[in-house]
Amino acid sequence: MSSFISQTSIPSEIITTSSSSVSHTAPNRSYMCKFIHEILSLTDHEIERLIQSDNFHLLHDGIQKFYYENKNLKENEINHTFEDFLHKRDFNYIHDTCSYNNKIFVDLFSNLKPDMSWNCTTGSQLNDYSSCPFFFKSIIELKTRKLKTKDYDQIASYLTSILRYSPGRKFIIGCLTNFEETMLIMVLYDDTINQIKYIKQAAVTQLTGLQILTLFLSLSDTQLGYNEKFINILSNKKIVFLHYLGRGSSSFVFYCESQQEQLIKFVLKISRQNCTKEKFIIEEMNKIKRKNMNLIQCMDMNFDDDYADYLITFNLRGVKLDKLFIQRFLDDTQLLINTWQQVHLCHKIGYIHSDIRIGNMIMYENMVYIIDYSSAVQPKTPSYYQGCLSTASNGILKILGSNSEKISLYYTDDGISFLKCILLLKPYFQHYTSIIKKAIEDNMTWDILPTYEYAMKLFKDKNIIKTLVFLEENREILSVDDLNNIIIHTLKNEKTDDYHIDEYLQKLKL
């Protein structure tokens, strides 16, 4: 094992986890305040009728008695005790999550843990796959003290995680309570402006905390923003999850088996975004690819439902590039070129991938495959940027730094991202790789551009840097074929110390 592999810490965002894009961040959440009837889309009369029902009174009185008997318990104790109380009253779908530590649950909530989950599966313990975001109806946060601002942000974060990965879901409503005081929180996704919005219940209300909690527990799936139609697709096709493969910026990926289709095994991507475009791009690329070219393919599982557009199936189960293979990837020029050719093929059918990073590359039978074409856009077509920031071109970073409006991308942006993937893994660049990683982790993405600008001046004699500078200067005018020639030429010569790429690039200018 080389010293580079043993000594270098490769940033997880750059290799394995979801991209950190402008549309995903939520620093300093701002909340709109709405009355309860507005959050629930109910009239005051409808709420009054619910409160006057026998079922409501029965549940309310039970919760009131529970609270008076258990209000001196610690938070972790009251969660489990409240679960027992609810299950005895046929609320078997609400679970205390204190013991949950399966991989999907941990990934979904980024190593944090909600107090209680309202799931579509019964029982006292979720299995690994029922921790998937599309099984969650809501979240309940129980506190034994006065509610604080940080509590709102905490539950909003959990609700956002569920919404971010739930196919077609428009909103989710959660409950924050200490029994005496209860607040409803709504998180909704506005597709028109590609933004998540946060709404909290107005403090002015005639209802008590126990009444609001009882009202919340009385809500239907529709009122919570949940739709079970998507789950029915998996059930009707008798799809069994065999392995959890990981998550992307808006999707979870599984290795599955269909017991209805002669035990066919396949990779299933479940996304909150419509997958129709991604499927079209991959199919069009396969129509024009060279014989024996490594390229991911889609499978047709005949999902006959509107929600099927949020599913896409693939023919091969690859693995993320591990550290050992990354070193081979960097050393093997032909492997780099073969990988780039997949991006070039995407350009040939008129699309920019726009999310090129190591995390969107998988290894299968010693070959590298580009995956996740969900963020692909057509050139010069204004759209909200949803790609990775750590490998975005400086041109994109400058635009994003000035505003978050729609921007136009160019084929050259993919070329820059591909070379930045390599640059971020170079031993001499590791200090700046760490700075970029930290900027993303700390949600200080404005630090990425100046880091690149400084480092590119510092290492200006490196061939890969010279090419990056050239591409940045000409990102709006290079053709698909010229870009392809530049990338291949750079890959063939970037390791050669006695070769300088200046003359080649100068000829292109002429």
Closest CA to 296 of 274, 315, 270: 315
Query: What DSSP element (H or E) covers 152?
Result: helix 149-164
Averaged over 49-78, what is the pLDDT? 92
Query: What DSSP element (H or E) covers 200?
Result: strand 195-201
Residue spans of the domains in the chain: they are 3-18+234-509, 22-217
Count of positions (residues) in the chain: 510
* 244 has pLDDT over 80: yes
Which amino acid appears at position 471 of this protein? L
* Full-model pTM: 0.84
Annotated binding residue at 113? no
Averaged over 260-272, what is the pLDDT? 84
Averaged over 165-189, what is the pLDDT? 94
Averaged over 448-467, what is the pLDDT? 94
Q: Does domain 3-18+234-509 have CATH number 1.10.510.10?
A: yes
- Choice between 316 and 141, residue whose per-residue pLDDT is larger: 141
pLDDT of 432? 97
- Return the DSSP state at 383: B
**Which of 73-87, 142-156, 295-309, 344-358 is the most confident on average?**
344-358
* 456 has pLDDT over 80: yes
pLDDT tens sequence across 246-256: 888 889 999 99
* Cα–Cα distance measured from residue 70 to residue 86, given in angstroms and rounded to the nearest whole number: 14
* 378 has pLDDT over 70: yes
* 359 has pLDDT over 80: yes
pLDDT of 483? 96
Q: DSSP assignment of 434-463, as one string? A: HHHHHHHHTT-GGGHHHHHHHHHHHTTTSH
pLDDT of 143? 92
pLDDT of 122? 56
pLDDT tens sequence across 120-172: 875 545 556 778 898 999 999 999 899 998 999 999 999 999 999 999 899 99
* Least confident among 37-46, 177-186, 280-289, 491-500: 491-500
Token digits for 449? 């551009």
User: Residue 129 in contact with residue 244, Cβ under 8 Å?
Assistant: yes
